[in-house]
Amino acid sequence: MKLKPSHHFVIILALAALNVVGYVAVIWAGALRGYWPSPLIAIRDILLFVPVIVIFIWLVRNQRYKGDLTVFTAALLLFSIGNIAQYRLFSDPEYGARGRQKYQARMAKMQTVFKRSIESGYDERKKNFLYGDSETRMPAPDTSVLQRRFSVYELLTSQYSYVLILGLIGMAGAFLFLRRDSALLMLQKYSISIGLMTLIPFLILVTFFSAQGKFLGGTTPWEAVKILFLFSFAGMLADNYRSLSQTRWGVPPGRILAPFLAVAAMPALPFFVLSDLGQMLVFFGVYALLFFISVRRAPQLVYAAALSLAFIPIFYFGLGIPDRARLRIYLWLHTWQAPPEGAPWWRPFFERIQNEYEGRQISNLDAWFDQASQVALGLFGIESGGLKGQGLGLGFPEVVPVSDSDFIYAAIAEELGFLGGLAIIIAFAALVFAGLRIAIEARDMFTKLIAAGVTGFLGFQALVNLGGVLRVLPMTGITLPFVSHGGSSLITSFVMIGILMAISHRNSKAIQ
């Protein structure tokens, strides 16, 4: 059932109110531990609802939007939860600190909590018995290491102040562009050219300017090209899906099959350069979904899967599986067991961890626990959250390495419990179901495939991330759409929402 725009507007206002409650809770919890999260940052984050409301009114009133707003509201819900989680993590002085500063921040928080517990839980008689009279009682801990100050200039120049605005602008631009028939016809006509013109520069950039799955040290290079790859593959399928159904011995003609093999191999080649297992899983999942939708024959999907699997030994014995991928698969299967010290794929990681200890020798087991700590601590945090969670700001997600990114779900589940984690899963389910409904209602194959592909990118990425955090799948380092910390990823995700909304708007106009 499609809700009215007024209902979605009420939901957006309710999300803004819940955000206020969440930020107040984080500030209050920080004060209990001896530090004050910046209220300026909280005010800035809450004010981000202003451009959201402006875009909403522009869509409904100015553009006379007739489509389904569920994808927009679900994305905003996920972003709101993620924003509060980011604020909670980055306001904690321990999170992001290194070496002695991290130790000092942790001790100052522990001493503050301990002193408050004594002062509130013991009467004067017990306090005097344990600590003497009030003059010799334990002094207040030094919390100066916990205090952080942010200027207005730092807030204005921070990427968090404008990345959502850029995402909303990208969403609006995608909506305006793809609602036009001429734009869709152009994309379909030049789909092969788009794929080739994207792939060649992409391979050059990732080969010479990327390392450890990142472009120039920070950006994930896939984010800038995944939508272009989608347009290319969807256009080729839309032009040839009837021919793909005309098979001999279950295999399409070579002149039709060859271009698809080339496009399907696109994510495989950069995988061996970037060692990015997560994005390869997402790409192949989306390709399989689009292939099945266009051909609509189960045997064809089986043949495509068998053909993809046939390339595995070629890559394994030819290019070889990257060490980073081997590490993550071993971590998934043997989280609590260190690999052999002499394993060739493990040796580079062991040496890197050893160098971080600045000359102090560590054992192979200690190095492995250092490497596996993110998965282990994330699982412990989720378990400790229980049904209702520890409370915002009252858990310990700051001890999980880089929990603002690929392990953000563990941080949320620890402090908001199973119910908070379930809210994220429900929001993704609503977004995916709404996206698939938009794809089903599309009047032509090209827009149907684009809508399904965008939905697949968001859904499979969430599935791979959650599977890695819960240890159902190997940890891949992939972010959770709209929730995890990241600039280019958030912008790309909102552009995808704009694409879905453009197709939904066209569907509604066609029905009328």
Range of the domain at 137: 105-144
Residue 408 included in any domain: yes
Asked if residue 140 and residue 185 are part of one domain, the reply reads no
Residue 366 included in any domain: no
Asked if residue 227 and residue 137 are part of one domain, the reply reads no
Which residue type does 82 have? Answer: G
Residue 96 included in any domain: no
Residue 492 included in any domain: yes
Q: What is the pLDDT along the chain (512 residues), one digit of tens a residue?
A: 678 899 999 999 999 999 999 999 999 999 888 888 989 999 999 999 999 999 999 999 999 999 999 999 999 999 999 999 999 999 988 887 777 888 888 888 888 888 888 877 787 777 777 776 655 566 677 777 787 777 777 777 787 888 899 999 999 999 999 999 899 999 988 887 887 777 777 766 666 666 555 555 556 667 767 888 889 888 888 887 777 666 555 566 666 667 666 666 666 665 666 667 777 788 888 888 888 888 776 666 676 666 666 666 655 555 567 778 888 888 888 888 888 888 888 888 888 888 887 767 888 888 888 888 889 999 999 999 999 999 999 999 998 888 888 899 999 999 999 999 999 999 999 999 999 999 999 988 999 999 999 999 999 999 999 999 999 988 887 889 999 877 788 999 999 999 999 999 998 876 65
Asked if residue 195 and residue 140 are part of one domain, the reply reads no
Asked if residue 201 and residue 122 are part of one domain, the reply reads no
Q: Strand, coil or helix: what is 210?
A: strand
Q: Strand, coil or helix: what is 159?
A: helix
Residue 71 included in any domain: no
* DSSP-assigned letter for residue 61: I
Asked if residue 236 and residue 132 are part of one domain, the reply reads no
Residue 38 included in any domain: no
Q: Would you state the pLDDT for residue 432?
A: 96
Asked if residue 210 and residue 287 are part of one domain, the reply reads yes
Asked if residue 246 and residue 133 are part of one domain, the reply reads no
Which residue type does 236 have? Answer: M
Asked if residue 215 and residue 121 are part of one domain, the reply reads no
Domain boundary among 144, 172, 206: 144
Asked if residue 190 and residue 140 are part of one domain, the reply reads no
Asked if residue 242 and residue 118 are part of one domain, the reply reads no
Residue 291 included in any domain: yes
Domain boundary among 115, 144, 173: 144
Domain boundary among 87, 118, 144: 144
Residue 310 included in any domain: yes
Asked if residue 242 and residue 123 are part of one domain, the reply reads no
Q: Would you state the pLDDT for residue 77?
A: 96
| Per-residue burial over 4-14, b = 16 or more CB atoms within 10 Å of its CB, e = otherwise | eeeebbebbee
What is the 3-class SS of 69-81, one letter each residue?
CHHHHHHHHHHHH
| pTM of the predicted model as reported, rounded to 2 decimal places | 0.89
84 and 19 Cβ atoms separated by less than 8 Å: yes
Alpha-carbon Rg for the chain in angstroms: 25
Q: Would you state the pLDDT for residue 410?
A: 94
Asked if residue 201 and residue 110 are part of one domain, the reply reads no
Among candidates 348, 340, 303, 299, which has minimal Cα distance to 322? 348
- State the total domains in the chain: 2
| Per-residue burial over 360-376, b = 16 or more CB atoms within 10 Å of its CB, e = otherwise | eeeebeebbebbbebbe
Which residue type does 180 have? Answer: R
DSSP codes joined into one string, 256-298: HHHHHHHHHTTTHHHHHHH--HHHHHHHHHHHHHHHHHHH--H
